Amino acid sequence: MIRDAREDDWSQIWPIIHDVVTEQRTFAYDPAMTEPEARRSWLPAPPGRVVVALDGDRVTGTANMYANRPGPGSHVASGSLMVARAARGAGVGRALATDLIAWARRSGFAAIQFNAVVDVNEAAIRLYESLGFVTLGTAPGAFRHPELGDVGLRIMWLDLRS
C-alpha cells in the first residue's frame, strides 16, 4: 500500500535514507548527512509530495516527487525512491515508481526526468526501463562507487505527452 507520508512516518523513513546514503552506491548525497538535513532535502515544498510504502504499520519504502526545476523547467517532474534493504525485490520499488508516474500525469507534468541514475544500479535501471524510461545520456565517471571506482550517471526520461 502506498499513501502520502505523515509526520509520524519520519522515524521510519530516516533509517531507510540513512542506510542508502551511507552505503554510497546509489545516491550522490553526502554520507555525513544529518537527520535534520535529510528531513529538509527529502520533504519537498508543495506541490511536491512524499509517499511511503507500507506493510502493515511498517514503512518498507519511500519516494519523493517534485518539479525538476523552477520556472521554465517546472513542467518536468523528478523524484527519488528508496526501498528498505530487507524489503527489496518484492515489488515495493515498482509500486512507488508507478505511483510517482501516476502523480506526475495527474499533476499535468510533460515528462519525468531522473537526473542521476548510477550506471551500475541494475535494479533501478531495469525497473525504470520496464516502465518506459529511456536513457538520454550518461555523464562518464561522474559517480565514485566504493568498489567499482568511477562509474557513469545517467539522465533517464519518461515522456508523458505521447
Ligand X SMILES: CC(C)(COP(=O)(O)OP(=O)(O)OC[C@H]1O[C@@H](n2cnc3c(N)ncnc32)[C@H](O)[C@@H]1OP(=O)(O)O)[C@@H](O)C(=O)NCCC(=O)NCCS
CB of 70 to ligand X, least distance (A): 22
- Cβ distance to ligand X smaller for residue 86 or 110: 86
Contacts of 90 (CB under 8 A, 6+ apart): none
CB of 23 to ligand X, least distance (A): 8
- Distance, in Å, from the CA atom of 61 to the CA atom of 88, rounded to the nearest integer, reads 9
Q: Tell me which residue has cell 562509474.
A: 151
Backbone dihedral region for residue 71 (phi beyond 0: left; psi -120 to 50: alpha; all else: beta): left
CB of 85 to ligand X, least distance (A): 8
- Residue 131 contacts residue 97 (beta carbons within 8 Å): yes
114: nearest Cα among 85, 138, 150: 138
- Cβ distance to ligand X smaller for residue 67 or 153: 153
- Cβ distance to ligand X smaller for residue 52 or 83: 83
Residue nearest to ligand X (CB): 93
CB of 88 to ligand X, least distance (A): 3
The residue ranges that bind ligand X (CB under 6 A) are: 20, 26, 81-83, 88-94, 114, 117, 121-124, 126-127, 130
